[in-house]
């Protein structure tokens, strides 16, 4: 079980006041990354799109949910017949936050709506109303539970780990405290951690799932409280730019996982906002100053 000790955390006396998002000239980037890696005490990870490639499971669960709520819809058939529909869904996923947002994406596709920006997406989401969103959220987890229970091996096969990243976590498990901050249900997360044989890397109390709160800001505040750690000592890796933007005011260091459920649109926007954009080849150096 990973140690929760922070006896070696405070060797940089000014760390609580270090401006994590200040701009540096490009010539200083490697020095900055080394300093950031020294400051990191807690590595908080999103699950889907960072540790686990769940794109197929999410799509199957979302379409199953849509079919329950809209039994006469031809949208699932369109996914089978036209690869562009799937690609359009994948472009919309980064604009959402939780399970109900997969329903928002399907609603947009069902109406052939042209959505390109976060603001356009948010307006449609708001227009659907709280009752619609809550209904999709509830049915999504009912559908996931049914798929998982009916054929566990098939459900597990919908998921793939990112082996280069999980190998990195194994190598550095004693260099930081690992935590998960996810909007996914805890049962699925724990089952998949065991399936990937990396459950030993995470203390159970540091797996913060969808029941922790609606926003990742809540997850990170709860995490800091549980560890009695300053938020400025947390590095947060997520594949959703909107999550990094929401949590940046807390003082955490945000890193976009470019291998996850995002597109070049998010990569460019993240760089403009001065977030680090990590690839599977560069993430070890960004997080630990290695390489």
Q: Which domains does the chain have, with CATH numbers?
A: 15-53+160-288 (3.40.50.1000), 55-157 (no CATH)
Residues 131-179 have pLDDT tens digits of 999 999 999 999 999 999 999 999 999 999 999 999 999 999 999 999 9
Tell me, what's the pLDDT at 290? Answer: 64
- Note every long-range contact of 5-11, with CB atoms under 8 Å and residues 24 or more positions apart, other chains counting: 6/41, 6/177, 6/227, 6/228, 6/229, 9/41, 9/229, 9/233
Q: What is the pTM of this model?
A: 0.81
What string of DSSP letters covers 111-166?
TT----SHHHHHHHHHHH-HHHHHHHHHHHHHHHHHHHHH-HHHHHHT-EE-HHHH
Tell me, what's the pLDDT at 6? Answer: 37
Nearest Cα to Cα of residue 61 among 158, 161, 135: 158
| Rg of the chain taking only CA atoms, in angstroms | 19
| Residue in the block written with tokens 């069902």 | 110
In the 8-state DSSP scheme, what is residue 48? B
Strands 52-53 and 160-161, how do they pair?
antiparallel
Tell me, what's the pLDDT at 25? Answer: 34
Identify any residues that bridge with 161 across adjacent strands, giving them in sequence order: 52
Nearest Cα to Cα of residue 231 among 208, 212, 250: 250
In the 8-state DSSP scheme, what is residue 275? -
Per-residue pLDDT of the chain (291 residues; tens, 9 = 90+): 444 433 333 323 233 323 333 333 333 344 444 444 445 689 999 999 999 999 999 999 999 999 999 999 999 999 999 999 999 999 999 999 899 999 999 999 999 999 999 999 999 999 999 999 999 999 999 999 999 999 999 999 999 999 999 999 999 999 999 999 999 999 999 999 999 999 999 999 999 999 999 899 999 999 999 999 999 999 999 999 999 999 999 999 999 999 999 999 999 999 999 999 999 999 999 999 865
Tell me, what's the pLDDT at 289? Answer: 87
| Residue in the block written with tokens 């199957």 | 60
* CA atoms of 102 and 273, how far apart (whole Å): 26
* CA atoms of 55 and 90, how far apart (whole Å): 8
Number of helical (H) and strand (E) elements in the chain, helices listed first: 14, 8
* CA atoms of 98 and 135, how far apart (whole Å): 13
């Amino acid at each position: 079980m990973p140690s929760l000790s922070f006896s070696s955390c405070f060797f940089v006396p000014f760390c609580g006041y270090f401006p994590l998002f200040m701009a540096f000239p490009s010539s200083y980037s490697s020095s900055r990354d080394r300093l950031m890696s020294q400051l990191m005490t807690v590595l908080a990870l999103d699950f889907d799109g960072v540790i686990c490639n769940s794109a197929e499971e999410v799509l199957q669960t979302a379409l199953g949910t849509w079919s329950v709520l809209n039994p006469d819809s031809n949208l699932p058939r369109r996914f089978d017949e036209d690869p562009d529909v799937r690609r359009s869904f994948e472009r919309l996923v980064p604009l959402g936050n939780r399970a109900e947002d997969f329903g928002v994406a399907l609603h947009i596709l069902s109406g052939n709506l042209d959505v390109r920006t976060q603001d356009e997406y948010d307006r449609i989401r708001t227009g659907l109303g709280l009752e619609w969103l809550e209904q999709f959220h509830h049915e999504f987890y009912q559908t996931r539970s049914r798929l998982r229970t009916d054929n566990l091996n098939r459900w597990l096969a919908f998921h793939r780990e990112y082996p280069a990243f999980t190998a990195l976590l194994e190598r550095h498990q004693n260099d930081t405290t690992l935590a998960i901050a996810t909007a996914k249900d805890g049962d699925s997360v724990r089952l998949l951690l065991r399936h990937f044989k990396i459950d030993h890397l995470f203390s159970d109390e540091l797996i913060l799932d969808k029941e922790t709160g609606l926003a990742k800001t809540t997850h990170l505040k709860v995490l800091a409280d549980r560890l009695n750690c300053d938020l400025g000592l947390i590095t947060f890796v997520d594949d959703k730019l909107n999550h990094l933007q929401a949590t940046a005011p807390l003082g955490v260091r945000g890193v976009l996982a470019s291998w996850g459920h995002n597109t070049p649109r998010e990569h460019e926007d993240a760089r403009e906002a001065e977030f680090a954009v990590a690839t599977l080849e560069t993430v070890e150096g960004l997080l630990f100053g290695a390489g």
